[in-house]
Chains A and B, each alone.
Chain A
Amino acid sequence: MLTKRIIACLDVRDGRVVKGIQFVDIIDAGDPAELAHRHAAGGADEIVLLDITATHEGRGTLIDTVQRTARELFIPFTVGGGIRTADDAAAVFDAGADKVSINSAAIARPELIDEIGQSFGAQAVIVAIDARRTANATDPVGEAEVYVSGGRKPTGRKVVEWAREAEQRGAGEILLTSMDADGTRNGFDCELTALVSEAVQIPVIASGGAGNAQHFADVFGRGRADAALAASIFHFGITDSRALKAEIQRAGVAMRLPC
């Protein structure tokens, strides 16, 4: 049976793992390579490394960090941040990434999705969408808007419409972050996740708001997510993936266990 995935996310700034509360206050949480290996050993199904400062500071992805992290990591490894061209993606794949996650650059030039997909296969392209509900709209979830540049800039594009375009252009997965929920530890935005998941045929990874195991069970059930991202839930000794997955499985969701 296909299991739901728990993806450990490392937000990296200046070569260190950090975690922001709603993308603002940032706390240091360690070395990316060391944490990636600890997560893999702890039962995470996948690792994502996001260079969160790359876009607005114009820096490239940290190839050295990627290389160091990929070494001896034998579960899927995704890298995002600062990937603007198919050549940028190629450098990240050469350094050992299995997938790239593209966000602002895909909004700026959607053909980038097609280009990376054609060279490396659709399975290698994740389109990341930072979404915010449109508070004053009659349908705040349906009208949710895409933001870029680490959640700083609204784009005027609707989330569902952009997810469909990404799929048509050959994205292999959608990584959907709720800007409203991110960092709150109050649970995922299940409504928004379900809406996107039902609008596309490709897997959707939910992100933002994880605080406990029930939140994951909810987003896999009600939210129809295929995978979910977790970052701060692990870093400060709350639990490891294995314990988290056991608890999610007890809530009725099939997990990769033992792992």
Chain B
Amino acid sequence: MIAVIDYKAGNLTSVMKALRYLHADAEVTADPEVVRRAAKIVLPGVGHFRATQRLANGGLTEAVHESITKGAWFLGICVGLQWLYEGSTEAPETPGLGAFTGMCERFPAGIKSPHVGWNSLDSLRSDSKMLRGIPEGGFVYYTHSWRAPVSADTAAQTTYSAPFTAAVERDNVMGVQFHPEKSSTVGMTVLKNFVEL
């Protein structure tokens, strides 16, 4: 079962619609016990990083931490990816999970922000499970103003004024800054890869 975590950050309709289309056994939940039992966890998220504070308050941070330590597959989407890092300058008082090192920062002044639209996935890591079958340069849909730095865990990068982490992956912990549920066939391939893990 895939637990899709509901922490009242934007709407989950699109993500659920995409998972159901792929015939995934997915369930929306805010219950830490359901998260502990799930084989896979999806953390969607649009909006403000401060909303992730509700994960800590609701006991979900702890549940996610335990689950991924035991090997559950995890996919963070958009703010869900950012939460995997140490934090974000968008809400410095709210810590992230810290699964990956680095802070998420806003795009620099002088370029349009949010970064909205279809941009290419570059420098794909060939060992990425989540990006299997995705072509170098494949296009995905973004809408965000903060982004994670590029590191050794980066599975693909996208350039908007400078490169940032488009996808991050280490063992069972993964995240995408783009919206796979809105990224046509490329995005659906990413979700399908995750569903089929």
Q: What is A's interface to B at a CB cutoff of 8 Å?
A: 1-5, 40, 45, 70-72, 74-76, 93-96, 98, 120-124, 172-173, 201-203, 226-227, 256, 259
Contact = CB atoms under 8 A, between A and B. Distances in A.
B46 A2 contact: no
Given A172-B143, A203-B112, A3 B118 contact: yes
Contacts of A123: 46-47, 114, 116, 143-144
Per CB-CB distance, the 8 closest pairs between chain A and chain B, nearest first, are: A121-B47, A123-B143, A256-B118, A256-B139, A93-B11, A2-B119, A121-B46, A203-B116
Given A1-B159, A98-B182, A120 B117 contact: no
A72 B19 CA distance: 11
Contact of A201 (B48, B113, B119): B113
Contacts of A98: 14, 182
Nearest to B107: A201
Contacts of B17: 70-72, 96
A75 B21 CA distance: 14
A93 B8 CA distance: 13
Contacts of A93: 11, 13
Given A74-B183, A121-B46, A124-B46, A96 B114 contact: no
Contacts of A4: 117
Given A45-B118, A226-B112, A226-B117, A96 B46 contact: no
Nearest to A205: B116
Contacts of A75: 141, 182-184
A93 B10 CA distance: 9
B21 to A, nearest CB: 6
Interface of B: 9-11, 13-14, 17-18, 21, 46-48, 112-120, 139, 141, 143-145, 159-160, 179, 181-184, 187-188
Main SS class of interface, A? loop
A226 B116 contact: yes
A120 B46 contact: yes
A2 B118 contact: yes
Contact of B117 (A3, A122, A124): A3
Contacts of A124: 10, 46
Contact of B116 (A40, A74, A95, A172): A172
B14 A227 contact: no
A96 B145 CA distance: 23
A259 B112 contact: no
B10 A201 contact: no
A2 to B, nearest CB: 5
B10 A122 contact: no
Given A120-B11, A121-B9, A201-B113, 14 more contacts: A1-B159, A2-B119, A3-B118, A3-B119, A74-B182, A74-B183, A74-B184, A75-B183, A76-B179, A121-B10, A123-B144, A203-B112, A203-B114, A226-B116
A172 B144 CA distance: 10
30 contacts: A1-B119, A1-B159, A2-B115, A2-B117, A3-B117, A71-B17, A72-B21, A74-B18, A74-B187, A74-B188, A75-B183, A75-B184, A76-B179, A76-B182, A93-B13, A98-B14, A98-B182, A120-B46, A120-B47, A122-B114, A122-B145, A123-B114, A124-B10, A124-B46, A172-B114, A172-B116, A172-B143, A201-B113, A202-B112, A226-B117
Contact of B48 (A94, A96, A121): A121
B117 A259 contact: no
Contacts of A203: 112, 114, 116-117
A203 B118 CA distance: 13
A5 B117 contact: yes
A227 B117 contact: yes
Contacts of A95: 13
A61 B182 CA distance: 22
Contacts of A256: 118, 139
Nearest to B111: A201
Contacts of B117: 2-5, 45, 203, 226-227
A94 to B, nearest CB: 6
